[in-house]
Structure 1
């Protein structure tokens, strides 16, 4: 038997400003809600000897289910904000609704609530903010709720001065519980151990991965690893398997670790690009999504690498339709059984094929370039099937799609964004058991 893997673009969105983070809402019934954050460096005016400023924008979208031929993504709201470095939803409802955390270039940690507007349209409303310190950029944040546990809700964030802060959002007011100097240069990433939220991990531009125990004074780390050869910029604790940790670095390697033994990683996988973000799949324990900066987005199958020391995680799918730095990526928890894919009637296809003003978006892949059209000259949505066809699904022998041996397929909805071309993509990945023929 062989496994067939296919990625399909569903919709593209121009964010106008450089896009660097996307997040699907993990809280029921809002799995169809998506946010995207942007970061734009403003050039100083000619003759002015001032530091460049920064600005950003926060987008709120809704993924529409069940209407074929209609753009699946609808923009609900856009908020002009400080430049956004990271976005994370709390995994559980707070104050009876979803809450979004934002790491801002002003050094602020900001919270937004997802509320119902008078016309039943969802919107984000500011809830609380906290300046973690002056003269710094807040670079990352994580919630302690990765295992859907609401018993102890806290946030951890890291900043451009190398500090890590732990913050409480009790009663909607952000309060700093502890802050310490964790790295010599930028602390690119910070994250909780979802299985023991008194443990925190951090990674910095000093090439060090560190662990911290909040039950003792964080003046010294519980471990320091120099296994990565460049800046550590991504960390994600597995919500499925205790002690399992994934880290990524500018050195283009994804490492899996057993948190009980940080002297040597379980596996080392080279992915050909700096690993800016890593995301474990919310329900399939062995699937890991990687945003690899200069080398697109990849899905790694890590089940066997968790048990065999020295094994690598094979790449089972790649999404290569971005044309700039691959920064933000996330899995949706939305069931694709409820999603109607665009499938235009034959007569619509014929009519559109004669149109003479399609908006052409050029992408460059590692093996060449190809076109895809998603709008006609009137700005009407053109479903994916009308555009240049996607590459055929590949058939290859390899690992099973997930750890449930009874399963013969995986279908996932994802979002990703890239920086300089300011684009956000919504796409799906299908991985099915085939007979080896294509």
Structure 2
């Protein structure tokens, strides 16, 4: 038996500002709610980046509702937009707070903001800002994670990392955060910090110093429980598996995804080269072996990690790839919404978003900005369009797809992803099902047969934001 794997775009939304983070609400009854955060370095009237000691970074928080209404109706409805400081990360608390979903947001002003989802008079819902906590002066809040990944609502805490290399732990009291501890964890930017969902006294952090570290809050932050240099470049993604104890996934600018057993951090269980720089990793909310990766210069991929978690030392095979974004792949998340119906037919007259190709000829020079420095690089052509940097594509034939059991169920998933320079949010579905009589796994890597549920306008690239090929465009 072989497998048929297919991704299909459902809708594309222009966020206007550069999009870098998306999160579906994990709280029951609100699974259809999606949040998207954006980041933009403000420019002057002449189009140049404003020169100041503190650059002006602006953002916008979007709130959407997903509702399946047939093939011709876009399923995504915008409920709200809130102008904010530039957003680098958003995460929903996995359990309700005061009976409602609570969204945490890390901003470029060094704040952690909390927004409570409330019912509105028109029968819909909207976000209300309920608190804001500063991590410290002259820093950007780069990431955040909740301790509630397995649904534990006792002693709710937040961990955040920042551009000063610090890790910050805060406790939740009603709907406000109280600082519990802060320490210097990395020599440069601490791109990511995350809880072990199985033991929330354990925290992992990754930084631009190429180090992955572990911390035990019971013994204090004076010394990490381990320091790994297995990644060869900055560590920017960490996610604890909420279904499999001890399993941890990490990603880096070195274009590799590593799987770890938390009881032995000397050597990873598996190492997978997937290209592009791995900015975000997300375990599936129900299937413990499926891992979603946002790979900056190399699109979005779904990895099958079952054999690696069971002791196979080979890389994790890629089951599917979503390649319809025209720019840097940053935010990605799985939805818990059930997709029991078959994929909708292609809407009549809807065009597919074309993949922009670099134009022949000269190019413009733009500022490619990181949280801590700016410098020039060539990323736009004469028409102002983003030029993707050439990245070796991983060969899907290099890793044999998994052999499914005869009684393995089909999988249909709803996902969201966003990309930076083209400021686009995509909502898409992935179907993975047994295919009788096949000889090869039907892995979809082109995305060229996908239909969009609305106009995927190619955005003019007038941003002057970004960073190096080995530092986040944030």
Identify the TM-score tier after normalising by the shorter chain. Answer: 0.7 to 0.9
> What is the 5 A alignment of 1:280-319?
280-319=283-322
How far 1:216 moved relative to its partner?
1.2
> Structure 2 length as normaliser, TM-score?
0.80
User: Conserved in 2, the CA contact under 8 Å of 1:243 and 1:259?
Assistant: yes
Further displaced range: 215-224 or 44-53: 44-53
| Mapped pair 1:228 → 2:231 | yes
How far 1:219 moved relative to its partner?
1.3
Aligned to 2:438: 436
User: Conserved in 1, the CA contact under 8 Å of 2:317 and 2:400?
Assistant: no
| Mapped pair 1:410 → 2:411 | yes
> What is the 5 A alignment of 1:200-349?
200-337=203-340, 341=344, 349=348
Task: State how far apart, in whole Å, the 2-side matches of 1:65 and 1:121 are.
Answer: 16
Aligned to 1:399: 402
SS at match of 1:20: strand
> What is the 5 A alignment of 1:111-150?
111-150=114-153
Offset from partner CA, 1:274-331 (integer Å, 9 cap, x none): 0000000000010000000000000000000012252210001000000100000000
Alignment partner for residue 72 of structure 1, among 75, 94, 99? Answer: 75
Task: State how far apart, in whole Å, the 1-side matches of 2:279 and 2:417 are.
Answer: 12
Alignment partner for residue 362 of structure 1, among 345, 350, 354? Answer: 354
Task: State how far apart, in whole Å, the 2-side matches of 1:431 and 1:365 are.
Answer: 30
Aligned to 2:24: 24
SS at match of 1:363: coil
User: Conserved in 1, the CA contact under 8 Å of 2:97 and 2:174?
Assistant: no
Q: 1:125 to 1:206 in 2, by over 3 A?
A: same
How far 1:414 moved relative to its partner?
0.3
User: Conserved in 2, the CA contact under 8 Å of 1:3 and 1:397?
Assistant: no
> What is the 5 A alignment of 1:157-236?
157-236=160-239
User: Conserved in 2, the CA contact under 8 Å of 1:266 and 1:310?
Assistant: yes
Aligned to 1:106: 109
> Structure 1 length as normaliser, TM-score?
0.87
| Mapped pair 1:34 → 2:34 | yes
Task: State how far apart, in whole Å, the 2-side matches of 1:179 and 1:31 are.
Answer: 33
SS at match of 2:340: helix
Aligned to 2:52: 50
Measured on the aligned residues, the alpha-carbon RMSD in Å equals 2.1
How far 1:75 moved relative to its partner?
0.4
Task: State how far apart, in whole Å, the 1-side matches of 2:253 and 2:99 are.
Answer: 39
Task: State how far apart, in whole Å, the 1-side matches of 2:403 and 2:426 are.
Answer: 27
How far 1:185 moved relative to its partner?
0.3
User: Conserved in 1, the CA contact under 8 Å of 2:417 and 2:425?
Assistant: yes
Task: State how far apart, in whole Å, the 2-side matches of 1:297 and 1:359 are.
Answer: 21
Which ranges in structure 1 are unaligned for 5 or more consecutive residues? Answer: 353-357, 367-393
Q: 1:72 to 1:201 in 2, by over 3 A?
A: same
Q: 1:79 to 1:339 in 2, by over 3 A?
A: farther
Further displaced range: 58-67 or 280-289: 58-67
Aligned to 2:471: none
How far 1:365 moved relative to its partner?
8.5
User: Conserved in 2, the CA contact under 8 Å of 1:70 and 1:342?
Assistant: no
Offset from partner CA, 1:400-428 (integer Å, 9 cap, x none): 56xx8733311100000000000000000
SS at match of 2:425: strand
| Mapped pair 1:5 → 2:36 | no
SS at match of 1:22: strand
